[in-house]
Structure 1
Amino acid sequence: MSHIYVYSPSSAVRDKAAVRRGIARLKAAGHEVELDPATFATHMRFAGDDDTRLAAIGRAAASGADVALITRGGYGLTRLLPRLPYKAIDQSVRKGMRWVGLSDFTAFQCAVLARTGTVTWAGPAVGEDFGTEGEPDEVMQACFGDLVSGQGEGAGWRLPVSERVEAMRPVHGVLWGGNLAILVTLAGTPWLPRIEGGILFIEDVHEHPYRVERMLTQLLYAGVLGRQKAIVFGHFTNYKPAPHDKGFKLGTVIDWLRSQVRAPVFTALPFGHVPTKVALPVGAEVHLAVEGRDAFLLWGHRH
């Protein structure tokens, strides 16, 4: 079906069995899977030292693959941003390659978008998504299949009852975002794209709601949120409430944000550190449409 290049640009692979299961499943689905020689490299907490991981990215760009897919996120890409092979990445996309990942990969995506305007894809990772002990999520697999085949035209999801919209004109803008902690890390640097009138989507993991709010205040006060036409929350997972929260929760943060920005704020986008995740074209022009509780991000036929 497609040629998939698997590489490790961030943290070292700790669960090698999961990555191998993911590779086996991709092959069973008919894909040709090429494994970067440094996929399982280790240097401290990283998948090889900086030069090793930069070389892996360069090999991915030169591979001629249809998809470059990360093994996992973690940490490591922010320290590589000044040295990424931007021209090679841009050229690979022009030839049809889709760069796919999430979490720490947000740094790569934002920097590439800021430097070149190139579209990459927020989507699954080999270990976390294809390497599960049970059967991988059907929605994730279907969306990845659409991405690989170039047939994906949009993503839809169901809003909470409280966000039901009777009538809203579709919002048009550049879709961008990803992991909130990474976005905040890039604020004030050349690697955060300056998107005017965009549709920002965010997600995170292991971040208590008060920390989510603190990060959002940074983007608010930096003027980032005020420039957006819409803000869409994905999933924020794996945090523990504290007894002294006394009712302070993620919903509190979302309500506060709505009081601070003019743009509509929606939730429940199926994306983040969760099994069910859609594939999203970061940097592409999209339409956000909402009717009742049905929300849609539409980008048409895009290779």
Structure 2
Amino acid sequence: MSALSLTLFTPSGVLLQVGPLKLAARRLKALGFDVNIDEAALAKHQRFGGDDDTRLAAIHRVAKQAPDVALASRGGYGLTRLLDRIDWKLLARSVEQGTRWVGYSDLTALQMGLLAHTGAQSWCGPLAADDFGRETLDEVTPDCFAEAMTGELEAVGFRTAEGHDGLQAKGVLWGGNLTVLTSLLGTPHWPKVKGGLLFVEDVNEHPYRVERMLLQLHQAGVLDQQKAVLLGGITDWKKSLLDRGYDLKGMLAHLRTVTKTPILTGLPFGHVDTKVTMPFGMKVQLVVEGRDVLIGWH
């Protein structure tokens, strides 16, 4: 079997240094991928990986090339600027040809738009520079990514808090970065998923802001339409003197009083060192036994 072709591209924030991208390319080659770095991957314009036209052209160029894997170099911000101009049918054709678009964080905008406009699936997983380009890389993240890209991976598992034993559900797995997700609500780029499994993660967002965004989704009718909500990493937020005991647990306790949808914690995904790779927009099955959660697909 020939090596899977993998293209690194920069659709969002600027890459300040070339080192992490080169390290990522070496590690990905060591995993057996035939790695290509897009010609505009190191472009710079203000805080972006090139101006809007440059980044849009890169996305369309990768879609036309249709590699086996299209892996974003990093997140940040920038894709929201491009959503109204992306040729979604072109991206969907690349998916039909076998391309797996992979990333998280700001790439949530592209994944949501792709599902909303075409129903095409993508993959939530690591970023090139932010994960494969780190000084130290765990074993789970690259192994899970490689198995997902070759089609060997059919399930991911994790431990959650007590209280969900026996829960079983089937539905479309979707979601991503909560801030990006919420910003798309009410736009044409929001996929209307009912009976799905919604997963969310975020970074540098205090629990009260996470609560406010989740309440917005609830008040818009989104949470009650899902079979489960899976909470990934809510990381790097700072406590405030005003909290007076309010924290993530308090936030979750309140949310569970307003929505009937089960909220499971512990999903190893988001701005965390160890993350799984999962399908986005694919129908999956969720099974909980005790505190063990399994998400499977075919």
What is the alpha-carbon distance in structure 2 between the residues aligned to residue 288 and residue 29 of structure 1? Answer: 29
Residue ranges of structure 2 left out of the alignment (5+ in a row): none
Q: What residue identity is the alignment partner of 2:54?
A: T
Q: What residue identity is the alignment partner of 2:135?
A: E
The structural deviation recorded for 1:15 is 3.4
The structural deviation recorded for 1:29 is 2.2
TM-score by length of 2: 0.97
Identity, in percent, stands at 49
**Quick check: 1:59 aligned with 2:61?**
yes
The structural deviation recorded for 1:165 is 3.4
The structural deviation recorded for 1:112 is 0.6
Q: 1:99 aligns with which of 98, 101, 109?
A: 101
Q: What residue identity is the alignment partner of 2:16?
A: R
Q: What residue identity is the alignment partner of 1:129?
A: D
Q: 1:190 aligns with which of 172, 176, 188?
A: 188
Paired residues of 1:5 and 1:63 also in contact (CA < 8 A)? no
Paired residues of 2:195 and 2:227 also in contact (CA < 8 A)? yes
What is the alpha-carbon distance in structure 2 between the residues aligned to residue 64 and residue 96 of structure 1? Answer: 7
Paired residues of 2:166 and 2:287 also in contact (CA < 8 A)? no
What is the alpha-carbon distance in structure 1 between the residues aligned to residue 262 and residue 31 of structure 2? Answer: 39
Aligned to 1:149: 150
The structural deviation recorded for 1:62 is 1.4
What is the alpha-carbon distance in structure 2 between the residues aligned to residue 191 and residue 62 of structure 1? Answer: 22
3-state DSSP of counterpart to 1:192: coil
Check 1:164–1:220 CA distance in 2 against 1; reply closer, same or farther (3 A cut). closer
What is the alpha-carbon distance in structure 2 between the residues aligned to residue 166 and residue 129 of structure 1? Answer: 33
Paired residues of 2:204 and 2:235 also in contact (CA < 8 A)? yes
Q: What residue identity is the alignment partner of 1:173?
A: G
Check 1:248–1:92 CA distance in 2 against 1; reply closer, same or farther (3 A cut). same
Aligned to 2:166: 167
What is the alpha-carbon distance in structure 2 between the residues aligned to residue 64 and residue 172 of structure 1? Answer: 30
Paired residues of 1:15 and 1:127 also in contact (CA < 8 A)? no
What is the alpha-carbon distance in structure 1 between the residues aligned to residue 123 and residue 262 of structure 2? Answer: 24
3-state DSSP of counterpart to 1:211: helix
What is the alpha-carbon distance in structure 2 between the residues aligned to residue 28 and residue 298 of structure 1? Answer: 27
Q: 1:212 aligns with which of 193, 210, 213?
A: 210
Aligned to 2:234: 236
What is the alpha-carbon distance in structure 2 between the residues aligned to residue 167 and residue 64 of structure 1? Answer: 41
The structural deviation recorded for 1:164 is 4.3
Aligned residues: 296
Aligned to 1:78: 80
3-state DSSP of counterpart to 2:276: coil
Paired residues of 1:154 and 1:298 also in contact (CA < 8 A)? yes
The structural deviation recorded for 1:28 is 2.2
TM-score by length of 1: 0.96
What is the alpha-carbon distance in structure 2 between the residues aligned to residue 119 and residue 15 of structure 1? Answer: 31
**Runs of 4 or more off by more than 3 Å in structure 1?**
none
**Quick check: 1:33 aligned with 2:35?**
yes
Q: What residue identity is the alignment partner of 2:9?
A: Y
The structural deviation recorded for 1:142 is 1.2
The structural deviation recorded for 1:246 is 0.8
Aligned to 1:12: 14
The structural deviation recorded for 1:214 is 1.0
Paired residues of 1:129 and 1:137 also in contact (CA < 8 A)? no
Residue ranges of structure 1 left out of the alignment (5+ in a row): none
| 1:144-167 alpha-carbon deviations (Å, 9 max, x no partner) | 01112111111100113xx24343
Paired residues of 1:173 and 1:197 also in contact (CA < 8 A)? yes
What is the alpha-carbon distance in structure 1 between the residues aligned to residue 277 and residue 15 of structure 2? Answer: 23
3-state DSSP of counterpart to 1:5: strand
Paired residues of 2:31 and 2:146 also in contact (CA < 8 A)? no
The structural deviation recorded for 1:251 is 1.1
What is the alpha-carbon distance in structure 2 between the residues aligned to residue 115 and residue 292 of structure 1? Answer: 38
Aligned to 1:293: 291
What is the alpha-carbon distance in structure 1 between the residues aligned to residue 87 and residue 276 of structure 2? Answer: 27
